[in-house]
Structure 1
Amino acid sequence: MMTKIAIAQINACMAVGVNLLCLKRMIERAADSGAKLIIFPDRCALFSMKSSDYEINKEILGEGRIQDYLQKLSRDNNIWIIASGIPIVSEYSKEKYYLASVVYNSAGDLYEVYYHLAPTLPCAFQWTHSLLQDQEYGEMVKVIKTPFANIGLISTYDLFLPEVFRYLKKQGADIFAVSAAFTQDMGAHAWMTLLKARALENSSMILAANQSGIHEDADLLFHGNSMVVDHNGQLAQRIEMGEQLLYAEIDTKYFKNICFDQNPFQLQYRR
């Protein structure tokens, strides 16, 4: 049986309320189209250049304005939700927070949480370094088992780490859900190349949701270009800029028929 998945491209801002209304609009549109899962970009509920904004809006896991709203939307629309970059209170320090991908099932239950890994970035991304000073980081990546596929959760900086994808594949991931806030400064020319490489290395489909447009409080342009890349590393679908939904049809039986061992580009053949 085919399952429709929605990939949401948005331009989040500093106002959580505005972002939540955007998420509601996208979720309702996706559900009306028959989608069973929607994937949002990284930092979909809040994007700010100030660490203090994340600190103010951080929530205890399972509680809070953002999580309660997502829970209600998933239940009311009978849809799974992957929402990335939600600020969650650190259990080690009240002043610090995680950025997490939270997953809700169609019954509105908090199904899984992925605390984003620590990125390794060049000094050129000074704005990112300052923003991450008050952030805590997770130590485990996650594969979620849904009724339609086993999905590996990927955030922005994981895209630069091929071994993360390889590990998720070994843990049973059929496809990868990439939630990104990928700007032109981060190498827009490499965005599609990275996605294709990760798909080809693991013989797995990639569903990539990215932020799009100019951010209001910084000279940053989000690259957009959310896309679907098939297991052969071929571009299947893409949208360029603006707030849009992209749809992919997946078939669980299809994953079982992919001949994983015959792909010479896989990381298992590295030397």
Structure 2
Amino acid sequence: MTRIAVLQMTSGIDPEANCATIADAARAAAGEGAAMMFTPEMSLLLDRDRKRAAAHIVSQDRSPFVPRLAALAQETGVTIALGSMAVRHEAGEKSANRSMLFAPGACAPVTYDKIHMFDVDLASGESWRESNAYAAGQAVVSVEDTPIGRLGLAVCYDIRFPALFEALGNRRCDAIAVPAAFTRPTGAAHWHVMLRARAIEAQAFVIAAAQVGRHEDGRETYGHSLVVDPWGEVLLDMGGEAPGLGFCDIDLGRITEVRAQVPALANRREIAKS
């Protein structure tokens, strides 16, 4: 068994305060024997006021938080899967919604830029145009050697696009991180069923750290950070009311059991495009 920690947050508009929350959680995770900690999408800054947020968004190599999180992983011995943070994109004027994986002793984080942009108009009246400010990522990313095996990276809205998870399943990922800041309406309708479906399809653990509650910028997020096993069983659900740190023990042997019982990955066939 490998113990992981899942940090459910109500991130605000002050990156320093959010970073302090992550640091306290990492130290608590280490104290409880966790080998990895997962945080939500936009852990360090959640602010829909783009003019106000812009003052805090810099390139990855200029961010003060990247070396601090690397040092935190080294200090605690906990691999930190930062759900994402906003950084200025290396090409062009837009930003990137970037996941970062900090391993103790690593010289630089492994990164993944969110591929699918959340451009929607909801029946509740909420309207979001992520592509106005963020450049879409282009690459599927998995990390070979983590405490829970090969880890695939995705972010929030990516969950609605099975092709990405098919690609991660074809890489035989043992686990897939899906950090999120889901809205309440879409979360109530789709969050649990989609995460369970993605775990079943990829025959992998899915670990989804989420934002929760009412935030300083006025938005409300769904919460319910989940850990789902390869059979689709929910091992951890942190609810939709409050932030906090949850723990789950991962049995990697479960992956072999599920893939032997229903060898869907081995039986997968290429479907000709019309």
TM-score for both structures, normalised by structure 2: 0.89
- Distance apart, 1:53 and its partner CA: 3.8
Cα distance per residue 1:132-153 (max 9 Å; x no partner)? 4121121012111224310111
Instruction: Please tell me whether residue 55 in structure 1 is matched to residue 61 in structure 2.
Output: no
Instruction: Name whichever of 116-125 and 46-55 sits farther off.
Output: 116-125
In 2 relative to 1, CA 179–120 (structure 1 residues): closer, same or farther, beyond 3 Å?
closer
Q: Does the Cα contact within 8 Å between 1:215 and 1:221 map onto a contact in 2?
A: yes
Q: Does the Cα contact within 8 Å between 1:6 and 1:38 map onto a contact in 2?
A: yes
1:29-178 matches, cutoff 5 A = 29-93=28-92, 95-119=93-117, 121-124=119-122, 127-129=127-129, 131-148=130-147, 149-178=149-178
Cα distance between partner residues in 1 of 2:146 and 2:162:
26
Cα distance between partner residues in 1 of 2:59 and 2:217:
27
Cα distance between partner residues in 1 of 2:33 and 2:43:
22
Cα distance between partner residues in 2 of 1:147 and 1:49:
33
- Distance apart, 1:221 and its partner CA: 2.0
- Aligned CA-pair RMSD: 2.4
Cα distance between partner residues in 2 of 1:44 and 1:120:
17
Cα distance per residue 1:220-256 (max 9 Å; x no partner)? 3211111111111121221112121221222444434
Instruction: Please tell me whether residue 13 in structure 1 is matched to residue 12 in structure 2.
Output: yes
In 2 relative to 1, CA 62–32 (structure 1 residues): closer, same or farther, beyond 3 Å?
farther
Cα distance between partner residues in 2 of 1:108 and 1:256:
29
Q: What percent of counterpart residues are identical? A: 22
Instruction: Name whichever of 40-49 and 61-70 sits farther off.
Output: 61-70
Q: Does the Cα contact within 8 Å between 2:211 and 2:223 map onto a contact in 1?
A: yes
- Distance apart, 1:260 and its partner CA: 5.3
Instruction: Name whichever of 144-153 and 42-51 sits farther off.
Output: 144-153
In 2 relative to 1, CA 270–39 (structure 1 residues): closer, same or farther, beyond 3 Å?
same
Cα distance between partner residues in 1 of 2:267 and 2:46:
34
Cα distance between partner residues in 2 of 1:263 and 1:21:
44
Cα distance between partner residues in 1 of 2:265 and 2:143:
25
In 2 relative to 1, CA 174–252 (structure 1 residues): closer, same or farther, beyond 3 Å?
same
Cα distance between partner residues in 2 of 1:116 and 1:147:
20
Q: Does the Cα contact within 8 Å between 2:83 and 2:209 map onto a contact in 1?
A: no
> Which residue identity is paired with 2:169?
K
Instruction: Please tell me whether residue 215 in structure 1 is matched to residue 215 in structure 2.
Output: yes
Cα distance between partner residues in 2 of 1:88 and 1:267:
40
Cα distance between partner residues in 2 of 1:100 and 1:217:
20
In 2 relative to 1, CA 248–266 (structure 1 residues): closer, same or farther, beyond 3 Å?
farther
Instruction: Indicate the SS of the match to 2:68.
Output: helix
Instruction: Indicate the SS of the match to 1:98.
Output: strand
How many residues are treated as equivalent by the alignment? Answer: 267
In 2 relative to 1, CA 260–100 (structure 1 residues): closer, same or farther, beyond 3 Å?
farther
Instruction: Indicate the SS of the match to 1:110.
Output: coil
Cα distance between partner residues in 2 of 1:157 and 1:174:
21
Instruction: Name whichever of 37-46 and 115-124 sits farther off.
Output: 115-124
- Distance apart, 1:202 and its partner CA: 1.9
Cα distance between partner residues in 2 of 1:53 and 1:83:
22
- Distance apart, 1:28 and its partner CA: 0.9
- Extract unaligned runs of 5+ from structure 2: none
Structure 1 moving runs of 4+ over 6 Å: 264-267
Q: Does the Cα contact within 8 Å between 1:59 and 1:89 map onto a contact in 2?
A: yes
